[in-house]
A = this chain, B = another copy of it.
Amino acid sequence: MEDVKLLTCNEKIRAIHDTMDVLSGKWKVSIIACLCYKGMRYSELMRQVPGISGKMLSRELKDLEMNKLIERTVAHTKPVCVHYKITPYGASLKELTEVIATWGLKHRELITH
């Protein structure tokens, strides 16, 4: 695979668009980051990702499942329990979530001091 530092601007933008298409919207990076910690139920994800609506969470989870970044399992308990966990492919995004979080920490420190 090519070294990203040797890419032309156009090639780099195409690669960025490929990632941004998979991680489209404001919430997918956060959901991936949560599931990189541990598998979670739907209700847990709702608590861990402040500001997301139920409808949005369902839609984003469906997208992520379709792209094989997460796995959904249904336990036939009463009530039914739906559990989500990261796939090995989804876990390849962990570094990206950490670089994004690191920048956010520095940004918050800068604008609050």
Contact with B along A93-109 (1 / 0, CB 8 A): 10111111111111111
Q: Is A81 an interface residue (CB 8 A)?
A: no
Q: How far is the CA of A7 from the CA of B102 in the complex (A)?
A: 10
Chain A contact residues, majority secondary structure: helix
**A15 contact from B18, B24, B34, B105, Cβ within 8 A:** B105
Q: How far is the CA of A15 from the CA of B89 in the complex (A)?
A: 23
CB-defined contacts of A100 to chain B, threshold 8 Å = 15-16, 19-20, 96
- Nearest to A50 among chain B residues (CB) is B13
Q: Is the CB of B104 within 8 A of A93?
A: no
Q: Is the CB of B96 within 8 A of A19?
A: no
